[in-house]
């Protein structure tokens, strides 16, 4: 009688062992993420370059849950301490805006890859538009920056705008501070796209870059005057071939003429224009050289340091305004009157201005 063939069980056992190890590793990661860390522990970890700790810290900052707000305040206090003041003064905050489809994500990835190769640590805060119906956001910027996402010296954080005007999310300022505390020396802030109020990013950054397209009609009709006035540079992207390059250079000349009509900036910097092809990675180095020229000039004449002071003062004003609104509308008596006044405005029993005045007068009487 012939013997039955003997099957080797070692590969199966190895496969089971590998699967078990993988499952154990996944469980360990999940457990670590679920673990409650103190503010001190989070800041300590993010300062060592722990991207997970940085992500968790930003999530806490963005959370509207009351239980997270106290820890968020402690986080910011630690990250914004005087010990980190020197580190913050050595960082560079670049705001990047432009019309939808101008290639902001591709441009940022190419710029980020070039900077990481030069030894910089780059953080990208990409603000995605939120739906006015569902309130949701796609948050697809990381999928459009696959190369940069894989770099150990880069951190990408997509954030929903949550219908905040100005092209940036409400807690973008706080996220910048956390990224700088984590050792990122170049912060790239990508806005949701050019609009009438797409200028808030100017108050967050040291250098404000406007990306534009050529050949889309009258270029100067495509954006608002206020954005051109605020821009430190205008870069015409998608000069991908000879035909597009000719159009881009024509647009560059037009924008340069327009910039010359505006009053001189207090920084002493004369805004410049450039052309580039982010798709083909051409001209990105020239844009960076231009930014470095701006930094050298403004650090020498003191404008850079003054702009940082202005950023903090603007942050203070915005925070006080938002905090006052939240505190007032969370008070039961104020909330009841607020809902009553909204009902009156709905039925045209009182004008919005009169209703606001009644609410303010009532609050002031209560406080006195």
* Domain architecture of the chain: domains with CATH: 33-79 (1.20.5.170), 88-300 (3.40.50.300), 312-367 (1.10.287)
| Gap between the Cα atoms of 83 and 144, Å rounded | 36
Query: How many CB atoms sit inside 10 A of residue 297's CB?
Result: 15
Q: 181-212 b/e with 16+ CB inside 10 Å = b? A: bbbbbbbbbbbbbbbeebbbbbbbbbbbbbbb
Q: How confident is the model at residue 82 (pLDDT cuts 50, 70, 90)?
A: very low
Let me know: does 86 contact 220? Beta carbons within 8 Å.
no
| Gap between the Cα atoms of 167 and 308, Å rounded | 20
| Gap between the Cα atoms of 361 and 353, Å rounded | 12
The mean per-residue pLDDT over the stretch 283-312 comes to 96
Phi, psi values for residue 328, rounded to 5°? -70, -45
Q: How confident is the model at residue 80 (pLDDT cuts 50, 70, 90)?
A: confident
Instruction: Return the pLDDT at 163.
Output: 40
Considering 42-56, 68-82, 151-165, the range whose residues carry the highest mean pLDDT is: 42-56
Q: How confident is the model at residue 167 (pLDDT cuts 50, 70, 90)?
A: very low
| Gap between the Cα atoms of 287 and 273, Å rounded | 9
Let me know: does 148 contact 109? Beta carbons within 8 Å.
yes
List, for residues 185-235, the tens digit of each pLDDT value.
999 999 866 554 456 788 889 999 999 988 654 545 545 567 788 899 999
The mean per-residue pLDDT over the stretch 305-326 comes to 89
The percent of residues above 90 in pLDDT, for the chain, comes to 45
* Residue reference for tokens 């706080």: 174
Q: Look up the pTM and report it.
A: 0.81
List, for residues 335-346, the tens digit of each pLDDT value.
899 999 999 999
Let me know: does 245 contact 274? Beta carbons within 8 Å.
no
């Amino acid at each position: 009688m012939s013997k039955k063939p003997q099957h080797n069980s070692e590969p199966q056992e190895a496969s089971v062992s590998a699967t078990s190890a993988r499952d154990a590793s996944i469980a360990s990661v999940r457990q670590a993420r679920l673990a409650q860390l103190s503010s001190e522990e989070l800041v300590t970890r993010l300062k060592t370059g722990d991207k997970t700790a940085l992500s968790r810290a930003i999530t806490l900052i963005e959370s509207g849950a009351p239980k997270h707000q106290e820890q968020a305040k402690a986080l910011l206090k630690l990250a914004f301490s005087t010990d980190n003041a020197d580190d913050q003064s050595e960082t560079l905050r670049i705001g990047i805006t432009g019309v939808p489809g101008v290639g902001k994500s591709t441009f940022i990835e190419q710029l980020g890859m070039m900077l990481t190769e030069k030894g910089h640590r780059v953080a990208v805060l990409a603000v995605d538009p939120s739906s006015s119906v569902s309130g949701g956001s796609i948050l697809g910027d990381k999928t459009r920056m696959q190369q940069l996402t894989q770099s150990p010296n880069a951190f990408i954080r997509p954030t929903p705008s949550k219908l905040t005007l100005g092209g940036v999310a409400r807690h973008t300022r706080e996220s910048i501070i956390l990224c700088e505390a984590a050792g990122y020396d170049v912060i790239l802030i990508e806005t949701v796209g050019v609009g009438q109020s797409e200028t808030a990013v100017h108050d967050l950054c040291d250098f404000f870059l406007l990306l534009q397209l050529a050949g889309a009609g009258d270029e100067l009709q495509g954006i608002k005057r206020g954005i051109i006035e605020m821009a430190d540079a205008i870069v015409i992207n998608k000069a991908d071939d000879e035909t597009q390059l000719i159009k881009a250079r024509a647009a560059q000349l037009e924008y340069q003429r327009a910039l010359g009509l505006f009053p001189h900036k207090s920084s002493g910097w004369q805004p410049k224009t450039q052309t580039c092809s982010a798709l083909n990675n051409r001209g990105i180095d020239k844009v960076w050289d231009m930014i470095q020229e701006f930094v050298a000039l403004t650090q020498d004449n003191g404008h850079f340091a003054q702009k940082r002071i202005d950023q903090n003062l603007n942050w203070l004003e915005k925070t006080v305004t938002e905090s006052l609104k939240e505190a007032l509308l969370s008070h039961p008596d104020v909330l009841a009157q607020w809902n009553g006044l909204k009902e009156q405005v709905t039925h045209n029993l009182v004008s919005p201005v009169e209703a606001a005045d009644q609410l303010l007068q009532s609050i002031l009487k209560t406080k006195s």
